[in-house]
Structure 1
Amino acid sequence: MINPPTFNHYYRYNELVTVLQNYANNYPHLVRLETMGQSHENRDLWLVTVTCWETGLAREKPALWVDGNIHSVELAPSVACVYFLETLVRGYEQDPDITRCLKTRAFYICPRVNPDGAELALADSPQFLRSGTRFYPYSDLDLPGLVMEDIDGDGRILMMRIPDGNGNWKVCPDDSRLMIPREPTEVGGEYYRLLPEGKIDQYDGVLIPTKPLKQQLDFNRNFPVCWREEGEQQGAGDYPTSEPEVRALVDFITQHPNITGAVSFHTMSGVLLRPYSYQDDEKFSHQDLTIYQKIAKKGTELTGYPAVSVYHGFRQHHESYVTGAFDDWCYEALGLFAWTVEIWSPQQQAGITDYDYVKWYEEHPLEDDLKLLAWNDQVLGGKGYINWYPFEHPQLGMVELGGWDEVYFWRNPPHELLEKEVSRFPGWLVWHLLISPLLDWYEMKVQRVGSEVFLLRVLVQNTGWLPTYISQKGRRKKQVQGCIVTLKLPEGASLELGERTVNVGHLEGRAYKPSAPAGRVGDETSDRAKIEWIVRAPAGGTVEVTAKCDRAGVVRRQIELV
């Protein structure tokens, strides 16, 4: 019996595993489930492969990698992956694009890269980490300070509002729920200090520093390309792929050269991010940047999210940049067109559209906060922003708790809006895979040229939009070889002319064609390759021809010698 999951809540680990197992049991012709490794706490890292198995193995088809939840509190990505899985199995034999995609191509989906961190974020008494739970960089660190935790047991970690004459915050005159910064020269008012909800370890009755976490890893700084050590970039790990979760991804993707692109789901900002994270677009091959921009345009059309370069549109300041990120590694090392999708934007939901994704948190107009509160009241019934309420803190005495619900409003969509938000992406993911290269036969001919002597001529072609090398970066890196065509002879036959195995090189797609047939433009046949053999064999025998290209699939055909 098929029991589809619901998409109005966030899955704990055991529930997610059950959901994935149900898909594999209910749709065996499309879905297979395996583990590609284990987390630091020995949880399985589950991988779902989706394709029509009747038309061939996944490894013999072009594929797209999709993952989510590499950061612990970024929970919507796991739901986005499962929603995509549901869309695929429901759309097969119903939707023509999904059907064509699954018959000729494959998806590799890892809904939860970081099960340990996510389980803490989803716990009844939650903890918020950046990524994994391994102590790093110092396992014996035990300094005093505030520890974020749910001190009143309501399952949320909010803010604490404490009266303080030297505090930086005051009540907004336009809405008493809202706290706004005190003016630089302002005195004589009622001021507050705002702190995350929590208790103070080793409290001396005066100072409240933030206690450094023992778990400071950031998995999305641990990938091999341009990795920087801890002194240069916090959370990068002991060495590239030092973390088992990251190593499992790197191992799987590098061992599956049929992968043609990658999409990693994160939260939040409501934007499609592309490389580079660490350098200017001028470092791009012109052709690769053009293809990225075309994919971006389609992504915006289908998802409603704008698309930007991380370096140009998603960093804090001119001296700040990120290295060791997943999408940079996919493109720079493997030549794949890879993306980071930041799901959800409370600002966009409230009608705030002209803002900087990162610098907004440093400074923005009061009108933005009022718009957010109004949206919270009108759409969420006030559930996103919690009105301040008194609480007897065990160390500080009477304080107030309140503010934005960080996990289920700010970092992730509220439960009732979750399905609507994750439903943006399946169309773009299917389209992204359908642009991949794809081998097919253009022509096959047999001509008798003598007694038991035959001339075989075959033409193989790339019917996909992208070339078989995917990108200029991939071509230069020589990550994949060209199209290999092999001839298998029947017993008693001999090859008189030609080689049994021929590398015909890479085949172009349609990606680099002009947008208008002007001037001396012509469609040369660089998408095809011709191979000829002379075979001596008794009439009526059968030869088998196979064409294989790592990122364009495998096609086979038997030819009768008549």
Structure 2
Amino acid sequence: MPAIPVPRFDQFYRHAELTRLLQDYAAALPGLVTLRSIGKSWEGRDIWLVTLTSTATGADTDKPAFWVDGNIHAAELTASTACLYWLHALVTGYDSGDAQARQLLDTRVVYMVPRLNPDGAELALADRPRHIRSSTRPYPYDEAPVDGLTIEDVDGDGRILYMRQPDPHGPWKAHAADARLMVPREPGEFGGTYYRVMPEGTLKHFDGLKITANKDVEGLDLNRNFPAYWRQEFEQVGAGPYPTSEPEVRAMVDFITSHPNIGAAVSFHTHSGVILRPMGTQSDDDMTPEDLWMVKRLSELGAKLTGYPAISTFHDFKYHPKEVITGTQDWVYEHLGALFWTVEIWAPNKEAGITDYQWIEWYRDHPPEDDLKLLQWSDTQCNGQAHVDWKPFQHPQLGMVEIGGWDKMNFWRNPPPHLREREAARFPAWLAQLTLSLPKLEVLRTEVRALGNDTWRVRFAVANSGYLPSNISKRAIERKTVRGTVFQIHLPPGVTLVSGRERVEGPHLDGHAPKATLQAFLPNRDITADRAVVEWVVQGAAGTAIALSATADRAGSVHTEVTLD
């Protein structure tokens, strides 16, 4: 059997290399790793899904499932690295006998899509890259720009930086302590040397005066194309013509809706160094309290294990205070009632020692002292490459300019190569604990009692051994996306049902998560809410075997057999 592959976590894989790597895992570990394509991207690339579970202990669809994906946004490549890191940690841990990895893959299943948007990632990794938001499909129009500035790599160095030109009306100036650094011109300031700063790119039909940066022809944002709270372009840029119009999103939606065993999910993005929790469209006050308490508890666990603060999307991570953004989180939790987190990997400002910052607000405005710290970090930790020194360049339309400044792709959207594995290593402990918290249906007891005249009473009891309830959330019950525990007796020829129904929908089952502390005012009165029992009366010959099964959508399925004796 082939050896387990050893990935490079300091590099980003192009699609062909990623495909070979995932195929190598499946070939080396056929009892743990299954690879399948869940659809094709806009350009026809496979969207790979890795199923991680021990097939020796049952089918993946009979086990509670955790979903993880990455790289829905084109240049957020470290998201894919984080998925690969957990994949490798799970299979090597299982292979070496690690108790947690074995428990997880024996009793649960992980569905993993390391790169949901292969086309956009391929463009970001091209020899002459472009950094678009998401899919490469032209949207909302397919015409190329006829004028304006198109953002691209002008000097052919494989990076997209900034261009600056001296301009007495320019809004930027060199910092007094370090002339490499561009900082805003002060209100009312005059008499200095000022610059106009713009993205690196080329211009069409430049009149010598007006410069407007063109929007990317590829204007989609796949994370705005999900069914929950979808809005048209005038309300939510990049949302597409209708929900799930894009093949990448449709592939994910089709898979998750056809796998009701998925009870929780994490989507990896970059950057900000935070864990985002529900909800995205409403405040904590509007959230079902029991769900909020549980999400906060598991989010704080994430903060403890990863070092990333856990914050509310609605309260703490809006691009604009008067607007809301919607995406995967709102569909998975607010529509389906499964738990969901978005992880924004990597915080370069924190890396530079900037600790007093407020996620989105910092990007709107921050003191120049923060930029000086970042510049020092670039010089001492990144070989001066996070901020590239300005160099003269003869621009084909603008004449002499200087190209340099912050390298957003390689040091902002993603960590530099030597820090990528460190960032990815933050997450396996939390992801594993979330997965092992999923509800797990188990057979508690079976009984057969003779009632006379070949008549028998059959009892079947099951229990939820997991931390979370079998419904996962109150939201799932409100949205009617889960059923209670469904029991079924499978009658063989010669056996008839005297009382009871062949299929019975029982209750949702609590997990072992505490509803309150032992000092609470009122005790929990339903002591065994994690258990359910069904009984039937059947008539049949002694010695006949009867199959029984039970299913809780998000807690998996169990199968057993009793003998009439």
Aligned to 2:223: 220
In structure 1, distance between residues paired with 2:496 and 2:119:
59
Structure 2 gaps of 5+ residues are: none
User: Quick one: distance in 2 between partners of 1:527 and 1:25?
Assistant: 39
* 1:62-211 superposed matches below 5 A: 62-92=64-94, 94-140=97-143, 142-211=145-214
Aligned to 1:33: 35
Q: How far apart in 1 are the matches of 2:179 and 2:248? A: 45
Distance 1:207 1:530 in 2: 75
Q: Secondary structure at the match of 1:411?
A: coil
Q: How does 1:214-293 map to 2 (within 5 A)?
A: 214-293=217-296
Tell me the residue number matched to 2:374: 372
What CA distance in whole angstroms lies between the structure 2 residues aligned with 1:86 and 1:290? 32
Distance across 1 between alignment mates of 2:18 and 2:12: 9
Question: Counterpart in 2 of 1:495?
Answer: 497
Cross-structure match for 1:559: 562
1:401 aligns with 2:403: yes
Identity %: 50
- Report the Cα distance in structure 1 between the residues aligned to 2:141 and 2:319, rounded to whole angstroms: 27
CA 520–136 in structure 1, closer or farther in 2 if over 3 Å, else same = closer
Runs of 4+ aligned structure 1 residues displaced above 3 Å come to 517-520
Instruction: Give the Cα separation in 2 of the matches to 1:76 and 1:207.
Output: 37
Match of 2:434?
A: 432
Equivalent position to 2:412, from 382, 397, 410 = 410
**Structure 2 Cα separation of the partners of residues 36 and 383 of structure 1:** 38
Q: Deviations over 1:414-437 (max 9, x none)?
A: 011101101111111111111111
CA drift at 1:43: 1.0
Match of 2:50 in 1: 48
- In the alignment, the residues of structure 2 paired with residue 288 and residue 464 of structure 1 have an alpha-carbon distance, to the nearest angstrom, of 16
CA contact (8 A) 1:29 1:54 kept: yes
**Maintained 8 Å contact 1:143/1:211:** no
What is the CA–CA distance in structure 2 between the aligned matches of 1:293 and 1:222, rounded to whole Å?
27
Cα distance change of structure 1 residues 490 and 243 upon mapping to structure 2, 3 Å threshold: closer
The Cα of 1:512 is off from its aligned counterpart by 4.9
Change (3 A) 1:356 1:143: farther
Contact 1:336 1:471 in 2 (8 A): yes
Aligned residue pair count: 561
Distance in 1 between residues matched to 2:133 and 2:522, nearest whole Å: 55
Corresponding residue for residue 504 of structure 1:
506
The CA distance in 1 between the partners of 2:457 and 2:257, in whole Å, is 39
- AA in 2 matched with 1:561: L
Deviation at 1:358, TM superposition (A): 0.7
In 2, Cα distance between equivalents of 1:213 and 1:318: 25
Which whole-Å deviations, capped at 9, do the CAs of 1:105-140 have from their partners, x for residues lacking one? 101111111111111111010011111111111223
**Which residue of the partner structure matches residue 327 of structure 1?**
329
**How many Å apart are 1:496 and its aligned residue?**
2.6
1:308-350 deviation line (CA, Å, top 9, x unaligned): 1111001133212213x11111111100111111000001111
Distance change in 2, residues 1:227/1:459 (3 Å) = same
CA distance in 1: counterparts of 2:64 and 2:249, whole angstroms = 23
AA paired with 1:245? E
Return the alpha-carbon distance in structure 2 between the equivalents of residues 286 and 156 of structure 1. Answer: 47
Aligned to 2:386: 384
1:142 is paired with a residue of what secondary structure? coil
The correspondence of residues 449-528 of structure 1 with structure 2, limited to 5 A, is 449-516=451-518, 518-522=520-524, 524-528=527-531
1:211 positional shift: 2.0
Unaligned 5+ runs, structure 1: none
Alignment of 1:301-340 (within 5 A): 301-323=304-326, 325-340=327-342
Q: Is the 8 A contact 1:145 1:212 kept in 2?
A: no
What is the TM-score with the length of structure 2 in the denominator? Answer: 0.96
Q: 1:295 aligns with which of 260, 274, 298?
A: 298
Give the counterpart of 1:349 among 351, 360, 381. 351
> Does 1:538 find its partner at 2:541?
yes
Shift of 1:497: 2.7
1:184 Cα deviation from its structure 2 partner: 1.6
Q: Residue in 1 aligned with 2:424? A: 422
Deviates more, 1:222-231 or 1:490-499: 490-499
SS across alignment from 1:86: helix
| Aligned residue type for 2:134 | S
Deviation at residue 520 of structure 1 after TM alignment: 4.6
Shift of 1:536: 2.7
Over residues 33-83 of structure 1, what are the superposed CA-to-partner deviations in whole Å (9 max), with x where a residue is unaligned?
111111111111111111111111111111011101111111101111111
Contact map agreement 1:489 1:542 (CA 8 A) in 2:
no
Shift of 1:560: 2.5
- 1:47–1:111 CA contact under 8 A, matched in 2: yes
Residue 289 of structure 2 aligns with an amino acid whose one-letter code is H
Q: Structure 1 length normalisation: TM-score? A: 0.97
